[in-house]
Structure 1
Amino acid sequence: MNTVQLKDAIVKAIIDTVEYISKESYWDDVISFSLYSDEDYMSLALLFNTNAHYQDVKDDEYPLTYKFSPAEWFSETLYDDHFINNNEAFTSISEFLFKESSNCKDFALYKSFIEESCKLAILYCIENNIFRKPKNTIYLFMISDGYDEKEIIRINSCFNSECNNKLLAEWVGSEF
């Protein structure tokens, strides 16, 4: 699988996930999306947050943490939702990533391949209104336990509005 093929598979999984969640009662309240992977790039999921969840969990001392930390988002609370909890739309992608990461001989090259594919997929979905959300929606590609400030900004700055990029930079500066 090359970058374009992986991008296309990710776009299809995003479309399937958005189609699924757009039928849920919380859809109108969704404020952010993140492609989310582990530090070894062995899996991939689309996480999302709602404004209601953000307001419920927001810490006044660190208000941006829950805005930009996908592991703390609403989608991570949907334990009873089989489609979301089992990451059904991304199953074949995660199987591919697990296999590839297990056989990887050049991790830097593999990491670059995954990041570029995810970046292209997110950009495609934004540009083609796949997410069906306003311009001020937050879009991220994040890695669990990924704390490299420059990497977070570099990867995510092309997805977001100037206002959201300023908030992202503020969060990165205060958290790391």
Structure 2
Amino acid sequence: MTDPVYAKANINRTFIKAPIETVWSTLVATDKALPFFFGSICQTTDGLKAGAKYRMVHPNKKLAMVVGEVIAFDPPRLYSHTFQMTNIDEPPCKVTYTLVEKDGGTEFSLTIENAIEGGKLFKEMASAQGFIGSNLKALCETGRPAFTGRMVGLLSPVFGLLAKKSQHISNWPLK
């Protein structure tokens, strides 16, 4: 068996007309649905900090969509974690969010690393980068997600019905 080939880092940048503190607090919110993360709710046992396990759960709180571990957490500038989608049988990748103050706002960078080249996880993540950036931007600037985020929220119950049984939250404990 050959070793997997990993894709080059994929970076998406979005300028958000909001203070860095607003973008940071929106990005790292826990225990509420995050429209820029497809309506998922971030759960941890000990809060977001290096070494903490986390999972992104469906709004119905019965499905784990993503699981991982926080690698770095340096408010309000850097948040990095492993990222494994529970419906894809591939090793986790690394996701890093970087915030930099710019004139009149914040530059939000979303970087994907260590995903298998041509793998389903890389394709899903690369296609989601724009969605995440545009919905985080809209939420921070206007208090509402973009149209795409609102539509995902409306369709969330349907997505929950299509989930695999292996995604049930009991299969993905935080400890």
Q: TM-score, normalised by structure 2?
A: 0.28
TM-score by length of structure 1 reads 0.28
